[in-house]
Amino acid sequence: MTTASAATVLVIDDHPLFRKGVLQLLASAKTLTPVGEAENGEAGIEKALALEPDLILLDLNMKGRLDGIATLEQLRARDVESRIVILTVSDDANDLVAAIRAGADGYLLKDTEPETMLRQLESALFGQTVISDGLASLLATALRQESAVETRSRADLTERETMILACLAQGLSNKLIARELDIMESTVKVHIRNLLKKLKFHSRLEAAVWAVSNGMSGR
């Protein structure tokens, strides 16, 4: 982060007017500092690698060789550790699931109220998963439909994995989970990898939504 309270943000979107509007919104927030913009996936990847921003806002349906999902996949493949939130007009469940499985930390609609969006972006920076109102239920429904085909059970998890899954359901980051359970952050990563494999999920957010739908969000 640029200061103790300001997080750096990169905006990748192929619509100049919308991109400028988002940059202005970010500049109005004391906790967020826009440091770059890109009009396509290729340029976005280059800037992400050069700037190492705390947060990346990524459009889903972009023109050019790389759309949002392909850009997201390449960013994760290149070990970009920035929090990445999809900012899109699409409320299609397939797009939502694809984004989460590609490594998105959130999925927000472009018609979100500015004040609400800023609050959600700040939450994303603190390790929480953010999804626009109404879309979480779409993801949960998709996961329930999959569960009818693929059997998933908490009984397959160890006690520690179950505890960590409950932390994921609360939206905690790896660092906060490690602090909560008094274990190393590297150990948390191993447990998350194992529980995702056992539950046949591609991402922590999928697991978190599934856990919430199964009553694991309470402390």
- C-alpha 166/C-alpha 15 separation (Å) is 39
pLDDT tens digits along 37-57: 999 999 999 999 999 999 999
| Same fold for the pair 7-135 and 143-213 | no
pLDDT at 3: 43
pLDDT tens digits along 100-144: 888 898 999 999 999 999 999 998 888 777 888 878 777 777 766
- C-alpha 217/C-alpha 159 separation (Å) is 16
At the topology level of CATH, where does 7-135 sit? Rossmann fold (3.40.50)
Contact (Cβ atoms closer than 8 angstroms) between residue 22 and residue 45: no
Binned at pLDDT 50, 70 and 90, residue 146 comes out as low
Q: Is 70 exceeded by the pLDDT of residue 215? A: yes
Contact (Cβ atoms closer than 8 angstroms) between residue 85 and residue 99: no
At the topology level of CATH, where does 143-213 sit? Arc Repressor Mutant, subunit A (1.10.10)
* Per-chain mean pLDDT for the chain: 87
173 Cβ contact list (under 8 Å, min separation 6): 126, 127, 128
In the chain, where are the structural domains located?
7-135, 143-213
User: Both tokens of residue 173?
Assistant: 């980051």
Query: What are the DSSP E strand ranges found in the chain?
Result: 7-12, 32-38, 55-58, 83-88, 106-109, 130-131
User: Both tokens of residue 42?
Assistant: 């290729």
pLDDT at 158: 94
Torsion of CA 74, 78, 194, 133, to 10 degrees: -50
Position of tokens 């007009």? 89
Biggest CA pair distance of the chain? 50
pLDDT-above-90 percentage for the chain: 58
Contact (Cβ atoms closer than 8 angstroms) between residue 35 and residue 53: yes
pLDDT tens digits along 149-190: 456 778 889 999 999 999 988 878 888 899 999 999 999 999
Binned at pLDDT 50, 70 and 90, residue 2 comes out as very low
Residues recorded for the chain: 219
pLDDT-above-70 percentage for the chain: 92
pLDDT at 34: 96
